[in-house]
Structure 1
């Protein structure tokens, strides 16, 4: 085995070991909790949305918008505009009208997003049609 071959594989392992030691020294945990334990995970936000939007076509349209806007990340923030959350509300604090926990609660953000889509476009499917035509809603 050549020395360069060994170096190519030893260096990444060493870097990983150094990172693990540094993380342990500073008190960071490298393991994560199960996805179902997180209240703001992608899967739990989708589950909440399905419960709140029983019509399959409306849910599908809502889901397509959220997937493109935030990737189902409850704390997604657009660094240039400040848009925030699942539905990328702008300004973000507008979602407080749906609840004081708007920064972290998927249900609150979904409720606000549905209200927004229904009042501005008539429905999530109409909002999705607009999104497709314009790349935003």
Structure 2
């Protein structure tokens, strides 16, 4: 509870500025910093995950525009899914703090898992956009897709 109060205090302090633009920038920076702290810090894994999440969302929207299947409901739930992923990272960080504070095992596993999922999704979206991909990568994605649909063992 104390940690939440600290975050809110930092955000409200950042909102004090000489004009609206300065206040808005201060709030955004404070929220990003607070989110990073709540998720265990901005290490390389977390940065890569955030980049892939943004890349997945952007390439997904571009792919939907290209295929003329843009759906605001799908986009909304895609954004909600990203928030849920960040909640899972937060939960893993909290479990690490409870079980073994000096070794972020669960957080690291969760980040690596979601980096893999987001990376595959970005690659699939790039394929939808007809971005040239190595044939081996296409074969692996096709194989993963077939396994996911239960077509092969």
* TM-score, L = length of structure 2: 0.33
More RCO (CA 8 Å, sep 6+): 2
* TM-score, L = length of structure 1: 0.36
Higher helix share: 2
